[in-house]
Structure 1
Amino acid sequence: MAEQLEILNTDAHRALAMHPLGGDHPHMVQIVVSEVERAASCCPVMLAKSPDTGRFAIVALFGFKQGEILVEGADTGNAAFLPYDLQRQGFFAADDNIAVDLAHPRFAAGGTIPLFDHTGAPTDDMRLIQRAIGQLMSGAAQTEQFIATLVQERLVEPVDITLSFDDGETMSLNGLYTVSGEALSALDDSRIIRLFRSGWLQAALGIRLSLQQVGLLARRRNERLAGNLATSWA
């Protein structure tokens, strides 16, 4: 569906309402560095290379393949972590303004969340979207600096994880990267202090430690498979 971008205007869009999410929750979402620690509390956080540019981005995994959501509450927008990129679905920065894509599924008929109150002021939900857009814009340069530092310090390593499930399916997490614990431990004190004072050390550790979430999501997937199997036998 073609975009129908309009600059958000209190008068023109006073009656516009939205859904909590626009369409299905993706299984992989790009995030900025300020989101890493919150994301790592409920899902694996990895680095992924763009097939077009070859540059790294930080991504949060909500499932192991397209169409699969394993983080509790994520499919309804009620997970412990909701990425800024999903919070702002249907809204875009346009110079000093916010543009809205009226063709986006978030604005399909039946939306119940107003953008403006009766006085024309942004609602609390709209203020969260404004904040999300601001965080994405300010976080882009910080994220590039963080990733450049990881690469410069040779802290990035490929993820080598193969998962076997109760239905016989085997999955490998291909094309994903994490922070090397061994390389991180090998850094001298001055470089560790530099990472810490820049705020990058906490994010690097968050990415590394979030690998524990892979096993939790795999167990949830097996539990879901078992539930589906029991239902099919009933």
Structure 2
Amino acid sequence: MTNMVAINNKAHAGLKVTNDALNLSANQHLVPIVVSELNKLVVHYPVVISKLDDSGQFGLSALLGFEENENLFWQQGHWDGVYIPAQFERLPFYVGTEPSNTNAQANRVLCIDMDNASVNEQNGSPLFDNMGEPTSYLVEKQQILAQLLDGETQNQRFIAALVQHNLITPFTLDITFENESKTSITGLYTIDEDKLAALSPQAIADLHAQNLLQSIYTLVASNAQIYALIDKKNKANKNADAWFQTTN
């Protein structure tokens, strides 16, 4: 449960946030991402196309583990990667809405989850300076949230183009790990590389004109990170086996 409260510099003048906010990511094997993150994500994460739970529409996600509640990038209370996906990096902040006095459209407001363990008044990064101005920490979080909001429209354009050109295809991952354990992942989608290669010159030109072509190829390139994720899983299995042997 979250307890979201709109932030203001009077009521929250002494509020601080520690690094513990990322603890919420520990049990997520998929995290929604936006197109503008792709160039940074491709260094670490396989990016897949998945069905969004609430709508059944396609969305973009980074794959973090091979089973429910498994995040292989969360190691001993720390994130094991240079780039943290924006959906996690913005925690414990959210975008909320409040009624507008001037028009029918609600205003967007910056909110914080007061029940998040990272929120306190003793330790961490302050939200406001002594003059009541937002600190660089809070400004950075606002920028991340703005990126995510803008990314919703970008994602819709990207997915619409993939659907238009029939480039989305389901795939299954059948993996045998070093300890002989096996897993099979279904329900995910990726780019059909054969259909991508067969696109007409006009279709390629249209995707390029919409600034979508590079993102498509970046998503395809991210598939190679599945092998790095398998390596993380193998190492995690070895650590788990070693712990079991020393405690029994």
TM beyond 0.5:
yes
Aligned CA RMSD, in angstroms, stands at: 2.2
Q: Does the 8 A contact of 2:14 with 2:121 survive in 1?
A: no
Q: CA deviation at 1:139?
A: 1.3
Change (3 A) 1:110 1:60: farther
The one of 95, 107, 130 aligned to 2:142: 130
SS in 1 for 2:235: helix
* Structure 1 unaligned spans of 5+: none
Counterpart Cα distance in 1 of 2:178 and 2:92: 38
| Residue of structure 2 equivalent to 1:213 | 225
Q: Deviations over 1:106-137 (max 9, x none)?
A: 32676412112222222222111100111111
Q: Secondary structure of 2:23's partner? A: coil
Q: From 70, 83, 105, give the equivalent of 2:72.
A: 70
Instruction: Name the residue aligned to 1:172.
Output: 184
Seen in structure 2, the aligned counterparts of structure 1 residues 43 and 130 have a Cα distance that, compared at 3 Å, is: same
Q: CA deviation at 1:142?
A: 1.3
Moved more, 163-172 or 209-218: 163-172
- State the distance in 1 between where 2:232 and 2:22 align: 25
Q: For residue 227 of structure 1, report the CA deviation from its aligned partner.
A: 3.2
Cα distance in 2 between the residues matched to 1:188 and 1:74: 49
Q: Which residue of 1 aligns with 2:7?
A: 8
1:7-156 mapped onto 2 (5 Å cutoff) = 7-20=6-19, 21-25=21-25, 26-71=28-73, 76-77=78-79, 79-93=81-95, 94=97, 95-107=107-119, 111-156=123-168
2:103 maps to which residue?
A: none
The TM-score normalised by the length of structure 1 is 0.90
Residue in structure 2 matched with residue 202 of structure 1 by the alignment: 214
Name the aligned partner's letter for residue 100 of structure 1: I
The structure with more strand, counted as a fraction of residues: 2
Q: TM-score, normalised by structure 2?
A: 0.85
* Contact 2:23–2:77 (CA under 8 A) maintained in structure 1: no
Match of 1:227, SS state, is helix
Partners in 1 of 2:147 and 2:243 — Cα distance? Answer: 43
Per-residue displacement from partner, 1:187-216 (whole Å, max 9, x unpaired)?
111211221222211111111111111111
Q: Distance in 2 between matches of 1:70 and 1:111?
A: 28
Distance 1:199 1:19 in 2: 38
Contact 2:15/2:121 (<8 A) preserved: no
Gaps in structure 2 of 5+ consecutive residues: 98-106
Once residues 210 and 78 of structure 2 are traced to their aligned partners in structure 1, the CA distance between those partners, rounded to angstroms, is 35
Opposite residue 121 of structure 1, the aligned amino acid is E
C-alpha spacing 1:175/1:96, structure 2 compared with 1 (3 Å)? same
Q: How many residues align?
A: 233
Identical aligned residues as a percent: 28
Q: Which moved more, 1:154-163 or 1:65-74?
A: 65-74
